[in-house]
Chains A and B, each alone.
Chain A
Amino acid sequence: MAIDAVAATASREYRLSELMAICAAREIRDGEIAFIGTGLPMLGGMLAKHTHAPNCVMVFESGVVDARPTRTPLSIGDACLVPGSVMLGGLTEVFGVLLQPGHVDVGFLGAAQIDRFGNLNTTVIGDYGTPKVRLPGSGGGNDIGSLAKRIVVMLKQDARKFVERVDYVTTPGYLDGPGGRERVGLPRGGPSAVITDLGVYRFDDATKEMFLESCHPGVTPDDVRRSVSWDLRTAPNVRTTKPPPKRELRVLRTKCDPQGIFLGG
């Protein structure tokens, strides 16, 4: 499999999960309000706060504002997010009052499928009525993808996940292309980056189509194309993703996930 090949050729100094968390951190600018899920995005948020973005505010959908967890939270509702936060409410406060009027700069989402316009599926694989795999559904994903100023999508990549058209649009990306979000009445937003274990993708301003911006060290654009089921566009000069600096790796391992819960053993 492509992922194993990458693991074998990439430097042994870091894991791909660590590189993904570091790429996530790079998407957060200082002072931004970030809507964070569990797993790698949370580690990215914690890392950003410890490094280049000390003034970013992490918001969690169960109601926590500006969490400063001292252990690795296992879920968005983890009680360890509460002590030291600045405000506690519920879904009405974080979705209704922070997200809906446009106060959230960046949201992080995962997906089981993504398509060329960045639409996300976390609901079913196959036909809705008779699915091959029943997945958990939207949760807050649709709300975050509809209403944050921009979103960053994180997933492990293969051709079954990078599909021409998702089986179910749980969360709209750019829908059918330019003007898609505006036509249905979404007030703002859309995906700005996709981070996988193979590379980092952006979206073309004019066509709203996803393109490959950088390959992780040891990965070629051809490796990436084999893991995408449409004719993927690439940047004119596909870069190599900047490998993790030692300091960021150290912070990630010692402060964000010392037990390796999400980074892996």
Chain B
Amino acid sequence: MAEREVHDKRMSVAEAVRKFIPDGCRLRSCGIGLRKPMAFVYEIMRQRKRDLTFLQSGMTEDADLLIGAGCVGRVEGSYLGLEAFGLAHCYRRSIEKGVPRRIEIEEYSNFGMTMRFMATAMGLPFMPIRSQLGSDLLRVESFLHPKAAVLEDPFGSGAKVALLPACPVDVALLHAQRCDEDGNAQLWGQLGDDVWGSMAGKRIVVSVEEVVPTKVVRRDPNRTVVPGFRVDAIVPAPFGAHPYQVQGYYDADAAFRKDYAERSATLEGWTAWADEWVYGPEDHAAYLAKVGEARLGGLRAKRILSGRVNYGY
């Protein structure tokens, strides 16, 4: 077998952001309610990226922070809020008051966004769905013209479908539990829209809790969602989703999220929060040091191990 050329794709969060996230790109986040790529989000703010188009179905602090920092010009998505912690205040200030700038948003449903990512991942121009019909999600357009079309089944069933355009992604961020040196990325727990959303990326940048030997991946290939040859960068980032959960690694830091929700309610409060937690710490390691080992230790997941399966034949 010919010797494969070895590219070391490992890099720091800062390097990956510098190298793969130019101003103005179409950037996808990941995770629905957990496994958010927060180490990347903080670093994008530190590097003061501009005019990003942010793409994701369920958006929370990831989008709110980037909007508050003025990094985002447009959003295509379906939900932007802080879940149990209330409304997203930077988003509200942007849409209601134009502070720090007025972003534009094109809205679909969660399923709609997932199918748009699926279309891109599969190289298709659009996908049909049976929700969104009759709603203002189809009627009210912002910057995509047309944002959707309604088609009656050309094969005669009489069924109507909404056609949604593919959602091109320049850079897909994925925070995964683990990958190997090639970037074969493994996820477990709820997958949200991450399988299709990640594979939609022209470039895929993966942060992980652990880089593991390739034999660990090859022993359990059903868990791989992105093959290494599609991955452009591997970023080791333990606690890279804090304050969100990562199944098998740590629980949510609910007190941290509540503090963000409360302090971000005013512009001054948000600015102080961002100075303290994002612009103050120079990198991910400094951020984790500031959170503190005691607090992080308290979040570590208990062991609930899966059974093993026989891959034999």
Indicate if the CB atoms of B92 and A134 lie closer than 8 Å: yes
Residues of A within 8 A of B165 (CB): none
Residue in chain B with minimal CB distance to A83: B304
Q: Is B69 on the interface with A (CB-CB < 8 A)?
A: no
Q: When A77-B32, A143-B111 are in contact, do A137 and B190 touch as well, CB less than 8 Å?
A: no
A178 close to B (CB within 8 Å): no
A186 and B189 contact, CB distance less than 8 A: no
Rounded to whole angstroms, the CA-CA distance of A99 and B129 in the bound complex is 11
- Judge whether A131 is part of the interface by a CB distance below 8 angstroms: yes
Q: Contact: B31 with A77, CB < 8 Å?
A: yes
C-alpha spacing A261/B192, complex, angstroms:
24
A-B pairs with beta carbons under 8 A, tally: 192
- Where the two chains meet, the residues of B that have a C-beta atom closer than 8 Å to any C-beta of A are 31-34, 57-58, 77-81, 83-84, 87-88, 91-92, 95-96, 107-112, 114-115, 118, 129-137, 140, 150, 152, 159-161, 188-196, 245-247, 251-252, 254, 301, 304
What is the chain A residue whose CB lies nearest that of B78? A138
Interface members, chain A 61-93 (any B CB < 8 Å): 61-64, 74-79, 81-83, 88-92
Q: B196's contact among A76, A92, A99, by CB below 8 Å, is which?
A: A92
Contact between chains at A61 and B110 (CB < 8 Å):
yes
Pair B190/A90 contact, Cβ less than 8 Å: yes
Any chain B CB within 8 A of the CB of A185? yes
* A24 at the B interface (CB under 8 A): no
Residue of B nearest to A262 (CB): B84
CB pair A184 B80 closer than 8 Å: no
CA distance A243 to B58 in the complex (A): 37
Structural contact, B130 and A137, CB atoms closer than 8 A: no
Contacts of A134 in B (CB 8 A): 87, 91-92, 95-96
* Contact, CB under 8 Å: A143 / B134: no
A128 to chain B, nearest CB (A): 6
Asked if residues A75 and B135 are in contact (CB atoms below 8 Å), the reply is no
Please, how many angstroms separate the alpha-carbon atoms of A108 and B218 in the complex?
A: 41
CB contact between B78 and one of A39, A76, A77, A137 (< 8 Å): that residue: A137
- A192 proximal to B (CB < 8 A): no
Known contacts A133-B92, A138-B108, A63 near B192 by CB under 8 Å = yes
A63–B190 CB distance below 8 A = yes
Prevailing SS type, chain B contact patch: mixed
Closest residue on chain B to residue A84 by CB atoms: B304
The reply to whether B131 and A91 contact each other, CB–CB distance below 8 Å, is no
Nearest-Cβ distance from residue B201 to partner chain A, whole angstroms: 16
Residue of B with least CB distance to A187:
B130
Given contacts A96-B115, A133-B92, contact A185 B135 (CB under 8 A): no
A89 CA to B91 CA in the complex, in Å? 30
Taking beta carbons and an 8 Å cutoff, which residues of A are in contact with B? 38-39, 60-64, 74-79, 81-83, 88-92, 95-96, 99-100, 123, 128, 131-143, 146-147, 168-172, 175, 180-181, 183-187, 261
Q: What residues on B are CB-neighbors of A83 within 8 Å?
A: 304
Cβ–Cβ < 8 Å partners of B301 in chain A: 79
Q: Report the Cα distance A82→B107, complex, angstroms.
A: 29
The answer for the CA separation of A265 and B191 in the assembled complex, in Å, is: 33
Kindly provide the distance from the CB of A257 to the nearest chain B CB, expressed in whole angstroms.
12
Q: A138-B78, A138-B137 are in contact. List 20 more A-B contacts (CB 8 A).
A: A62-B33, A62-B34, A74-B83, A74-B84, A75-B84, A77-B192, A78-B245, A78-B252, A99-B111, A100-B131, A136-B87, A137-B77, A139-B79, A168-B140, A170-B136, A175-B134, A180-B134, A185-B160, A186-B134, A187-B159
Say which residue of B79, B118, B135, B247 sits within 8 Å of A92 (CB atoms): B118
Task: A135 to B251: give the CA distance in the assembly, Å.
Answer: 27
Q: Which of A95, A123, A138 has the most CB of B within 10 A?
A: A138
Report whether B79 and A136 are in contact in the complex, using a CB–CB cutoff of 8 Å. yes
Q: Name the B residues within 8 Å of A187 (CB-CB).
A: 130, 159
- Give Cα A39–Cα B78 distance, bound, in whole angstroms: 20
Sample of 14 A–B contacts (CB below 8 Å): A38-B83, A75-B84, A77-B34, A78-B33, A79-B247, A95-B114, A132-B96, A135-B87, A147-B130, A147-B131, A168-B140, A184-B160, A186-B133, A187-B130
A147 to B80, CA, bound (A): 22
Measured between beta carbons, the chain A residues less than 8 angstroms from B159 are 185, 187
**Contact (Cβ within 8 A) A131 B95:** yes
**Residue pair A185, B134 in contact (C-beta under 8 Å):** yes
Q: Is the CB of A142 within 8 A of B131?
A: yes
- Complex Cα distance A132/B96, Å? 7
Known contacts: A133-B92, A134-B92, A138-B110. The answer to whether A146 contacts B133 by CB under 8 A is yes
Closest to A139 in B: B79
Chain A proximity of B303: nearest CB distance (Å)? 11
B190 touches A142 (CB 8 A): no
CA separation between A137 and B107, bound complex, in Å? 8
Please measure, in the bound complex, the distance between the C-alpha atom of A131 and the C-alpha atom of B136, giving whole angstroms: 15
- Judge whether A136 and B110 touch: CB under 8 Å: no
CB-CB under 8 A for A90 and B192, given A79-B251, A100-B129: yes
